Structure 1
Amino acid sequence: MAKSARNEFDPQAFLAKVGDGKTVLIFHKNEAVFSQGDAADTVFYIQKGRVKVVVLSEQGKEAVVGIFEPGQFFGEGCLNGHPLRISTTTALEDCVITAITKTAMLAVLHAEPKFSELFMSYLLSRNSRIEEDLIDQLFNSSEKRLARLLLLLANFGKGGSPQPIKVHVSQETLAEMIGTTRSRVSFFMNKFRKLGFISYNGEIEVHNSLLNAVLHDKPQIQRD
């Protein structure tokens, strides 16, 4: 007999509650969730807040390689046999994060098709984003890369209304993410504001005109 609706597995409810091999943690702004070189034995899921992922080279140079937001997993490399963390993840704001041990994660992936579907959807989406980022770095100007990053950070929707970037991201961080200098980012941000693509009202607001400029490759956004 089929399970009743009340007994059906709910992935979101599973991720929101403490259970076997699963804890809900609070991280404050600028607090590290894990550091590069730490043992990798846990997968994390963001309930609230955003985190940034930073990689440190052997020469001591840092690079921001991603920003994750609510509804996303990170640290899943442990499922693929990575014994150590290859990056440092830090809270950009106060965060509520579910930590799931590798053992518990593998068990629920095997036992619950709905959870497996949710996780697979995330992995496919993440893979597509990585491919898009690579193409962006190879073929687009730093100005266009900044425009795309602002649209992604603002979760720009279909409504066309200004979308605020609700977390403070410094120009240094933006520069690291698109592979340019802070001074270039400052120049482009001022240009975007003058063109009406973005505005400042305590936080950055991204306008529909920026999306149109990127999609239609308008001449206001130049190639390097």
Structure 2
Amino acid sequence: MASKRRPSFNPKTFLRQVGNGKTIISCKKNRVLFSQGDAADAVYYILEGKVTLTVVSKRGKEAVVAILEPATFFGEACLTGQVMRLEAATTVGVAKIVRIGKAAMIKVLHEEPTFSELFLAHLLVRSLRIQEDLVDQLFNSSEKRLARLLLLMAHFGKESEPETVIAKLSQETLADMIGTTRSRVSFFMNKFRKLGFIEYDSGLDKELHVHRSLLNVVLHD
């Protein structure tokens, strides 16, 4: 008697199903998923919404490390032996997040090559982004760093069509992400608006429209 064929494994379907060490969390705005110093015991995946990663120094200064978008894993350092979270993760707005327990994550990585490929691709993209961010901090002016950040958030340079409207962010958050002051961010945002590179009504609490012409700031020597 022939044995039944195992159904093909679909990573995206797997990530949308509860059970097997997975839970799906429906989050409101500013939901803290984990705090700095918490036990590192799970990997997370963003189905909908965005998540900020922040760190706080010993002197109490908080900095935004990254703003993560849908189809992104985070918290994966627990797989390398990290026992405590080195950063905090908080939802930006309404979000839907998958929590995968460490044991369940290790199991599926070992048993499902297609999932391993998906996760490896994520790690490679994350590594490349970190390298690019480091080069940006070392060699580019704060004006160029701000322009690059806005373009990245609008998905310019990706295969998909860019989104001209990006999420609401405070000037303090943008300043943290590019390593400058709020006043400098305000100066450059006003400059970009006057040149027609971006559009917004009253400050960064409103929708922000990013135009392709902002690339001129990044490409200009």
**TM-score in terms of structure 1 length:** 0.91
1:1-224 aligned at under 5 Å gives the runs: 7-156=7-156, 157=158, 163-165=164-166, 167-200=167-200, 202-214=206-218, 216-217=219-220
CA distance in 2, matches of 1:56, 1:119: 28
Specify the SS of the correspondent of 1:64. Answer: strand
Specify the SS of the correspondent of 1:7. Answer: coil
CA distance in 2, matches of 1:86, 1:33: 13
How big is the shift at 1:28?
1.0
Identity %: 59
**Runs of 4 or more off by more than 3 Å in structure 1?**
157-162
Specify the SS of the correspondent of 1:89. Answer: strand
Alpha carbons of structure 1 residues 170 and 23: separation in structure 2 relative to 1, 3 Å = same
Question: Structure 2, unaligned stretches of length 5 or more?
Answer: none
How big is the shift at 1:212?
3.7
Amino acid at match of 1:168: K
**TM-score in terms of structure 2 length:** 0.92
How big is the shift at 1:109?
0.3
CA distance in 1, matches of 2:119, 2:181: 35
Amino acid at match of 1:217: H
CA distance in 2, matches of 1:148, 1:64: 16
Question: Structure 1, unaligned stretches of length 5 or more?
Answer: 219-224
Residues paired across the two proteins, number:
215
- Greater shift in the superposed pair: 24-33 or 97-106: 24-33
How big is the shift at 1:151?
0.7
- Greater shift in the superposed pair: 154-163 or 187-196: 154-163
CA distance in 2, matches of 1:145, 1:67: 15
How big is the shift at 1:80?
0.5
Specify the SS of the correspondent of 1:17. Answer: coil
Give the root-mean-square deviation of aligned CA atoms: 2.0
Specify the SS of the correspondent of 1:13. Answer: helix
How big is the shift at 1:161?
6.8
CA distance in 1, matches of 2:75, 2:210: 30
